[in-house]
Structure 1
Amino acid sequence: MNVGVCYADADRQLWLRMEMPDDSTVEQAIRYSGILERFPEIDLSVQKVGIFGKLVKLDAPVKEGDRIEIYRPITADPKTVRRRKIASDDDDDDD
């Protein structure tokens, strides 16, 4: 079956497509893809993975055409960043 594995860091993105046996898991596909060698910072024991934007476990089975995604940790709380931006925009209105 044909599946893809993708990952992006701050500088580059990679989407690899490959053929896998029908009974493959997410983890098997990730390891087979070679993406862990290209991005040694990936730690599957910590980082979350998904298929088409939906979180899955490493032992989840993959299906024909699946896009397996490896997610980077969030480095900033989106709510806090938004609040700071709104507060900053409000400060600009005083001019």
Structure 2
Amino acid sequence: MDKPVVAIEVVYALADKQKLLRLTVPAGTTVRDAALGSGMEAFFPGLDLANAPLGIFGKAVAKPDERVLEDGERVEIYRPLIADPKEVRKQRAARAAKSKSDDAETEMKE
């Protein structure tokens, strides 16, 4: 008797290169197992699939070692963040506030 399987996709992208792999995996395969078994590191040397953050259709999976995949799902391998998004927003807001205060000072002098 054949074991049940699910059809999934595993994707990874850099700024200049991306790869989508369509796979059939045994039912019960976890998100992490699918990433590890995808062979994606052959296309992206240095990719650390054992520790990479993972998601499904744009939503991070908190426990990829436990989350079992369903038919048709797309596993996404995320790159590490270069900068903390909260810190970037804080810096942007500070620059905007300084620009506003500089504009107000210029108007008062005129």
**TM-score, length-scaled by structure 2:** 0.69
Q: After alignment, is 28-37 or 78-87 more displaced?
A: 28-37
One-letter amino acid of the structure 1 residue matched with residue 83 of structure 2: A
Q: Is 1:22 matched with 2:27?
A: yes
Shift of 1:73: 1.4
- Preserved contact between residue 49 and residue 58 of structure 1 (Cα < 8 Å): no
The number of residue pairs the alignment matches comes to 95
SS of equivalent to 1:30: helix
Alignment correspondent of 2:77: 70
Larger relative contact order (CA 8 Å, sep ≥ 6): 1
Once residues 32 and 94 of structure 2 are traced to their aligned partners in structure 1, the CA distance between those partners, rounded to angstroms, is 43
1:5 to 6, 10, 22: 10
Separation (CA, whole Å) in 2 of partners of 1:23 and 1:91 = 54
Q: Which runs of 5+ in 2 are unaligned?
A: 1-5, 104-110
2:56 to 36, 51, 58: 51
Q: In 2, Cα distance between the equivalents of 1:23 and 1:46?
A: 20
- SS across alignment from 1:18: strand
TM-score of the pair, normalised by structure 1? 0.77
Match of 1:42 in 2: 47
> Secondary structure of the residue that 2:82 maps to in structure 1?
coil
